[in-house]
Structure 1
Amino acid sequence: MALTQIGMVNNPPIPYTGNIPGGLLPGKQIFIQGVLPLTQENFTVNLQCSTQTYPQVEVALHFNPRFNQGNVVRNSHEKGSWKKEETYGSFPFHPGQPFEMIIAVEISQYKIAVNGQHFTEFQHRIPVHLVNTINICGAVSIFCIRFDAPGQAMPTGYPQNFGYGQPPMMPQPQVGFQVQPQPVIGFQQSLNYTEVVNPAVPYVGEIPGGLASGKSITIQGALPLTQETFVINLQCGRQQYPQLEVALHFNPRFNEGCVVRNSHQGGAWKNEERFGAFPFHPGQNFDMKIVVELRQYQIFVNGQLFTGFQHRIPFHKVNTLSISGGLSIFCVRISSSEMETRSSLHESFVSVYQPSSSTPSFGTGIGYQAAGSYAPSFQPIINPPVPFLSGIPGGAVPGKMINIMGSLASMPCRFHVNLQEGTQDSCDVAFHMDVRFRFGSDGNIIVRNHMSRGTWGMEERTIPFFPFSIGASFDMIILVETTCFKVAINNKHFLEFKHRLHPPTRYSTLKIGGDVRLSQIRFQ
C-alpha cells in the first residue's frame, strides 16, 4: 500500500473552511504547511462534521496552540458545548517561524506530528466517517493543505506521491518525517548573485558593486496579520535622515491601501507616486523583484509587473539596501546584470565542456553560441505557472539547451522536471529528474529515471552534492548531447544521464511540477 495525494489547497485565505475530499477514514493524512507571525497570537485547526458555526458545529478535533499560555489545547465540540480539554505536552511552535503539521487518522485516534516530530495523540470522540470539513483560523499564514489517502501499491521505482506514512493495517512507523535543517541567517555569494538568508529586520546591507543596468534585487518574505506598514529603500550609503539620499523609497501602507514611491534628496522628500492597485495581503507571503533599467526601476510583485519608477538619482550612486517595518524576510538575492553574467559565465564554463564538431560547449542559456554555428535564442517564457507544460521548439535535438530559472518555497517537499514524448501523464519520459527535499525516507536526494509504456526504469540516485537551498533561487541548464543529457545547476556541471530511449528527438515536451516557482524558461 502507498499514500496517494487526493487533494491540495495552495495559499488559502484565512480564515479558511473547506471540504475534505472523500471525508475521513483510517489511513488518511492531512498535511499543513504555514508560517506564524511575530505577534505571538493564537491559531486553530478544526476537523469538523460540517461548515456550520458555533454552537451548531460538531468538531471532532480542535487543535489550538495558545502562545499566551504556552500550551496546545486539544478538544471536541459536541451538542453545543466544549468537552474536556487536553493540554499536556511541549509547545512546538515559534513566533515568526514556518511550521509543518501532519494529522494521521488511525482506527482509534488521531496522531499529530509537528516539524517532523511526533507531538501527541487524540482519541476519537466523534466517529471519523462523520468528519468532512477542515477549518483554519487565527494568526497564521498557510502555504499548503494536502490530503493523502491509502492507494494501490505502485511498481518499484515509480515516483510515489507524498508517502508520509503507512495506513494502519501496515506496520506503523513514527508519524512524521525528517525535516532538513532550516537555512540560518547568512551571506552567500556566487558568480552571478549575492544572497542573504533570513536576515533580521530592520536590515541594512551593501549592494555588492553597486547598481548597474540589468541588475535585479529579489526580496521574498511574509507579512503579519496586523496590517503594519513596511519600507524598502535603495540608498546612497548608510547615513540617517535628513542626510540620507534615497533613490527609491517603496512604502506599502495598509491603512491607506496604497504603495507610496518616492525619493529623498537634499534633506527633503520629493513628489510621491501612489497610483496602482495594492498587491500585498496581511498574513501572506510575497515575492518582490526590482529590476534596474537605464531610465527607471521596474518593480514586480508576486510575478506581476506592478509599476515603474523613473530615476531621480543616478543608479550608479546606489550601494545600500535597507528594509524595515512589520515583516519577516526569508531571502534577499542581488543578481548581476545580464552583461556581467555573460562575461563571467563565459569564463567559468570554458573548462566545463569542450566543444566538439557535433555538440556545443555547455553555456549559460544567455546569448550562447555553439562551436562553429549560431544557436538561436527563442523568446523566454517569463513567470509561467506551475505545473508547466510546453513544447520544446525544434525538439530535443543534440545541441538543444533548456534554461530553467526559479526559486523554492521555504518548506518544499519535491519538484520534478521531465523531458517527455507528449502531454499525457502516461506518455514515455526520456529524462525524469525528481528533486526530493523530504519525501518518505528520502531527504536531499535527486532521482533520475525514464518511463516507457507506463513502467519506470532503474533509478539513478548518486549525486556529487545537493545543489538546491530551501528558500533560494536556482538556475538549471539541460543540454541534449548525442549520448546523454547534461545538467548544470547554478553554473556548475552537476550530472549526466545516458539516453535510454531513442531517438531523443521524439521527446519534445518539457513538463515541470511540484513545489517550485518558475521565473523564466528559455530554449536555445
Structure 2
Amino acid sequence: MDNLSLVEIIDRTRLVSDVTEPILPVCCPVPGGNLRPGSLIILYASCPNNQGRFRIDLYASNCQHCRSEDGKKSLYDPAERIVALHFNARFGEGKDGSSYVVMNSFHEGKWDQDERSTVFPFQPEQPFCLMILTEEERFRIYVDGGERPHYQFQHRFSIGDIGRIHIEGPNLSVELIEFREPGIDQEQSSPLPSIIQDPSAVTIQPSTVVDDNVARENRDVSDKNENTNIVHSPSIPYFEHNINFGKPCDIIINGMILDPFNKYFVINLANTNGDRDAKKQNIPIHISIRVDQSKIVRNSLINGVWGQEETCLEGTFPLTIGSMFEVFIQNQNESVSISINGQLCCQYKHRHDPKTIDTIEINGSVRLDSIRYRFN
C-alpha cells in the first residue's frame, strides 16, 4: 500500500458496518471478528474544548465493558487484558501547556514503552475525521486526510487477534464510526468520506449498513433503550432523586480518580425524599472507595446510626490514583454487588429496606464522565 494514495486506498474498500452517534464510552466488536491488512476504521468526531483527554483502544482481548448477553456478567479478565494499540490525545498536559499524543500497548498487567508525538491536529469545537489504516507491519493514522499519515505505530501483537475497539473521553463527541474492508472493485465501493475530497470540511455520511452484532454490543451505551437513562459529564457533588432506585437496577459510573486524591470517593444510595440539604437519617447503601488505603468500605446509616463497616474484597484492589474507572453497582432484592473495571470486588447484603432508596449521591476526588441507569 506504500505506493497508493489515501484516496486510492479508501476507494478500494467497502463499508461493512457503522455505528451512529454512540454514547461514550463505546465498545464494539470489529466486523468479521478481527482486523486484517487493509482494514480501515474511520471516526467522525469533535472535541468540545481544549481540556482533558480522549482515547481509542484496539483490544486483542475482552475489555472492561464486555458483558454477557443479559448484561449482568462481566466477560473481562484483567489478567488477560491486551491492548494492541492505545491512542491517547492529551490537551494541554505538556509542561509548557502544549498538547501531545501518546501511543502504546498493554499486556501482562503493565504498559509497554510509549511513543509520543507533539503533532497535534485536534482543535476545540472543530470536527475531525480520524482514520486508522491497518497494514501488515504497522498502523497508519490520518487526521483530516492528507497524503502522509500523522502517526505510525509498529505492530506489537498479531492483527488477527484484534477484535474490539473501545473509545472514551470527556472531551470527545462521536458522530459516526465506520468499518471498511478491502478487496472490492472501485465500481462497487461506497462513496469516499467527504473529508478526503475536501479537507476543509467534515460531512457526516448517512448510515447505509448497520451490523446487527455491533448494534447489539452497543446497546449498553445507547440512550435509545427506554429502560436506560444516561447523564453526561455530571458535576461533583452529584445528586439525583428517582424513586426507581428502590427497585432492582444497575448503576454504571465512569470517570477518573483525581490526583491529588483527598481521602474519599463516596457513593450513597439514600432516602432523602428529594431534599438534598436535609440531614439524612437513612442511607441503606454507603460505599466509600478509599484509593489511598486500597479499601472499599460498605456500611448503612439506619435511623441516624451507623452500623458495622465491611471492608473485605474479592481479589485485589483495582484502582490507583489517576486511573480511569467503571464502577458497576447491581442493586437486587437481597443484596448489592459492586464491580470495578470488570472485576467483582464485593457484595453487600441489605440491612434496611431497599425500597426506601430514592436518591444517589456521589462526591469526592473524582471526575465523572457519565452515569448510566438501567432499570430492570
TM range (shorter): 0.3 to 0.5
Larger RCO of the pair (alpha carbons < 8 Å, separation 6+): 2
Identify, as 1 or 2, the structure richer in helix. 2
TM normalised by structure 2 equals 0.48
